[in-house]
Structure 1
Amino acid sequence: MTTAPARSDRRISPVFLGIVAVMAVSGWAVWTDFAEQPGFATFLFVTAAWVVSLCLHEYAHARTALHSGDISIGAKGYLTLNPLKYTHALLSIVLPVLFVIMGGIGLPGGAVFIERGRIRGRWKHSLISAAGPLTNVLFALVCTAPFWLDALDGVPGPFRNALAFLALLQVTAAILNSVPVPGLDGYGVIEPWLSHSVRRAVEPIAPFGLIAVFALLWVPEVNGAFFDMIDALLRSLGVSEFETYCGLDAYRFWQTANPVCAING
């Protein structure tokens, strides 16, 4: 018989704390321009912050499932925020980080295994799926707060640009993961309301939904329209396209830096 999570099942993992420490130290290096290679510091800061957001994304799923009736969550280690406890480390951490490096796109992967049979009520199932993207929305609001609060006085240019790029990742993650495609959280929100025959029909393609969405974004017309929408949304939050571009430019430290960004950084 599975029991409710013990305190040890909820203790924050040293692995997660280590990632937070990398984020804090590299963020300090970007802020103070301490690093000899500021681009590498930006890479570490944004990547660590992105992984932290992935952990929080999956934690939100797990915590909501716990309160919805799946008391097996604690035994699986999901409440410790340890990314190594996720059922699909490749989908949970490796692929999302590769998506950022390759295309500057934030897209979380599937991770936690929830025993849906323990949960009663379609609304609870939908809320569990929605909890992840909502976490990305909250993370995006935190990243953009200095912009829409007009509190950028004293914030160094490189750190401002890094925050802008990180905000872009969170916004793209929230929007893309809300698309009702099998394998993404958007589909998980509507799945409980679909007929059994429809769910059975789309089940075989669920593992490929994430890859299909990413591949679709390589189509120039789709990519252009999508990022025009993202830029418009970020502008409404006070973040300019130039700042997000320079953040991405600094993040890709292995490429030749844009001199315009260097001058304005």
Structure 2
Amino acid sequence: MTNESLRSGTLFFITLILALSLHEFAHALAALLLGDTTAKDRGRLSLNPMNHLDPLGTMMLLFLAFQNIGIGWAKPVPVDPTRFKNSHRGMGIVSIAGPLSNLLQAIVGFNLYVGVVQFIIPAMQGPSAFLILISDFLQIYVQVNLSLAAFNLLPIYPLDGAKVLSALLPPRWSRNFDLLFLRLGMWPLVGVVLWEWILPFPGPISLIMGPFLEFLLKMTSYSAFWL
């Protein structure tokens, strides 16, 4: 492994940990605001990444960061929808909070990146090694968060997108949708991920995430208030 690949892999891993931790924190905060204290009671209403990391998921994040293979995850936030005034709508709000937090992180990261590149580096009359490191980190941070937002909004269980779609459907359709994915379990997600790795042509993830990522990137770029 070259020094450059070690450096980029380390930055990628750090951004994944930060982005996923804030993603899970957003789920916990949304649940608390809607009346469910389950996540708070179990220590998940926290910005400390150690409270959100899953041992196996973190190991897979390392493979993803340094070998560009695999898929990692954090511990899911426990939610008790019976504590919401409207459990159907409440689960949708809690679910969308995670991807929205990633979009917000991308917007903040992009604005900071623009500030560093357009203002701080010219003011310093050239980039220092530290400023180059910061700008590279922010670039990766934006890319990671946009990818997490797009991926998690795919309507496939157990991703947030499936729960958001379920909340948007009429109650009868929602029940049938939930029962379908309850029977199928993780297999649809495993199937589409393996498709991307094994087959030589684009699968559902690429076909859906590609245009959606472009849309999110445009939204993020418009947020730079000094452009």
Same fold (TM over 0.5): yes
Letter in 2 for 1:61: H
- Could you say which residue in structure 2 is the equivalent of 1:178? 153
3-state SS, counterpart of residue 152 of structure 1: helix
Q: How does 1:59-208 map to 2 (within 5 A)?
A: 59-86=25-52, 88-91=54-57, 93-103=58-68, 108=73, 111-121=76-86, 122-146=88-112, 151-153=117-119, 154=121, 156-157=131-132, 159-192=134-167, 193=169, 194-208=173-187
Other-structure match for 1:45: 11
Alignment partners' CA distance in 2, 1:39 and 1:62 = 34
Aligned mates of 1:172, 1:185 — CA distance in 2: 14
Cα distance in 2 for partners of 1:135, 1:235 equals 15
Aligned residues: 202
Change (3 A) 1:86 1:142: closer
Q: Measure how far apart 1:204 and its partner are.
A: 3.1
Q: Deviations for 1:99-138, whole angstroms, at most 9, x for unmatched residues?
A: 3444379875561121122223122211100000011111
Find 1:221's aligned residue among 201, 206, 215. 201
CA deviation after TM superposition for structure 1 residue 212, in Å: 3.3
Secondary structure in 2 matching 1:90? helix
Structure 1 vs Structure 2: percent identity of aligned residues? 21
Which stretches in structure 2 are left out of the alignment for 5+ residues? 122-126, 222-227
Give a deviation string over 1:134-190, Cα, whole Å, max 9, x none: 111111112222456694351554543443233222111111110111110000112
Structure 2: distance between partners of 1:103 and 1:226: 20
Which range is displaced more, 163-172 or 121-130? 163-172
Q: For the residues of structure 1 that align with 2:40 and 2:148, how far apart are their CA atoms?
A: 26
The one-letter code of the counterpart of 1:137 is: L
C-alpha separation between the residues in 2 aligned to 1:79 and 1:126? 19
RMSD (CA atoms): 3.4
TM-score by length of 1: 0.62
